[in-house]
Amino acid sequence: MTYIRRLVRGNNVYIYSVTSYRDKETGNVKQRSEYMGKEIIKDNTTTVRKPRNRFEVMCLK
């Protein structure tokens, strides 16, 4: 099952896609989360700013 999680940290809202799966070794249910971006509210419209590629940012420094 996949769903969207909104994580509020201070004044910022971060969006994650969460997928549940069963671990084959232990049989326990676990979650795999993928960061989708930061929610930006501007002029009463909500958009999601995609994450930067961290590898490119490290190479530029």
Share of the chain above pLDDT 70, in %: 89
What tens digit of pLDDT does each residue of 14-43 get? 999 999 999 999 999 999 999 999 998 888
Query: Rounded to whole angstroms, how far apart are CA atoms 47 and 54?
Result: 21
DSSP-assigned states of every residue in 5-31: EEEEETTEEEEEEEEEEE-TTT--EEE
Query: Rounded to whole angstroms, how far apart are CA atoms 20 and 53?
Result: 25
Whether 60 has a pLDDT exceeding 90, the answer reads no
pTM passes above 0.85 = no
So where are the chain's domains? 2-60
CB atoms inside a 10 Å sphere around CB 42: 7
Q: Tokens for 19, please give them.
A: 């997928």
Going by the DSSP 8-state scheme, the letter that residue 40 receives in this structure is: E
